[in-house]
């Protein structure tokens, strides 16, 4: 289970406010990385989204020290990171928020298995939002081990 994720965005405060609206959550500062925020819905899973200023990266600490935040001027327009997040609001509400923000929002079908709404934060970072109906569809697919056959040309790797 993933309890929290962190993503870098141009305007962490604003993105935190928008995601808090979508998740029916609270947006609060995240002091370990100045200029960062957390979105916390206070659900039973401890879900949180950390929003860092663009250019933030996490690097290993020295010796036995914990990880540290480092800022770099090197960033990319798009990222290879995305997340699928269940939200308590409707497609219409998500679309209205996207229109207001000027961010791309499009409903997509993932290979006839389940639908998601691609929500393009700042038009550069995709988050797949799942309405309650879409989340049910996703869980029906993702919780059944026999569905692995759709992804595997070879047998799954053995786990011990």
The tens digit of pLDDT for each residue in 99-128 reads 999 999 999 999 888 999 999 999 999 999
| Contacts (Cβ under 8 Å, ≥6 apart) of 3 | 45, 46, 47, 48
Instruction: Quote the pLDDT of residue 15.
Output: 98
* Same-domain status, 65 and 104: no
Can you tell me whether residue 151 is helix, strand or coil? Answer: coil
Instruction: Quote the pLDDT of residue 156.
Output: 59
* Same-domain status, 88 and 66: no
Q: What is the CATH number of the domain that holds 41?
A: 3.30.720.120
* Same-domain status, 110 and 42: no
Instruction: Quote the pLDDT of residue 158.
Output: 58
Q: Does residue 15 form part of some domain?
A: yes
pLDDT in tens, 8-66: 999 999 999 999 999 999 999 999 999 999 999 999 999 999 999 999 989 999 999 99
Residue 131, Cβ neighbours under 10 Å: how many? 21
pLDDT in tens, 76-87: 888 888 999 999
| Contacts (Cβ under 8 Å, ≥6 apart) of 138 | 84, 86, 114, 116, 130
Instruction: Quote the pLDDT of residue 159.
Output: 62
* Same-domain status, 98 and 56: no
* Same-domain status, 98 and 147: yes
Number of domains in the chain: 2
Instruction: Quote the pLDDT of residue 80.
Output: 82
Q: Does residue 159 form part of some domain?
A: no
pTM (predicted TM-score): 0.87
Helices 12-23 and 91-101 pack at an angle, to 10 degrees, of: 160
Domain containing 88 equals 78-151
Q: Does residue 160 form part of some domain?
A: no
pLDDT-derived band of residue 160, with 50, 70 and 90 as boundaries? low
Q: Does residue 1 form part of some domain?
A: yes
* Same-domain status, 86 and 111: yes
* Same-domain status, 67 and 7: yes
Instruction: Quote the pLDDT of residue 76.
Output: 84
Instruction: Quote the pLDDT of residue 152.
Output: 73
Of 54, 75, 96, the domain-final residue: 75
């Amino acid at each position: 289970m993933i309890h929290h994720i962190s993503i870098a965005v141009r305007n962490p405060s604003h993105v935190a406010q928008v995601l808090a609206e979508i998740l029916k959550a609270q947006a609060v500062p995240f002091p370990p990385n100045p200029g960062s925020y957390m979105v916390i819905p206070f659900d039973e899973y401890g879900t949180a989204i950390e929003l860092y200023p663009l250019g933030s990266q996490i690097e290993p600490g020295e010796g036995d020290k914990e990880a540290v935040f480092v800022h770099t001027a090197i960033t990319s327009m798009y990222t290879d990171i995305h997340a699928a997040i269940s939200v308590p609001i409707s497609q219409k509400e998500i679309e209205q928020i996207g229109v207001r923000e000027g961010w791309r929002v499009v409903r997509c079908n993932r290979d006839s298995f389940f639908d998601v709404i691609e929500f393009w934060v700042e038009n550069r970072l995709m988050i797949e939002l799942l309405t309650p109906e879409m989340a049910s569809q996703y869980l029906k697919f993702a919780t059944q081990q026999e569905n692995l056959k759709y992804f595997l040309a070879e047998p799954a790797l053995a786990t011990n």
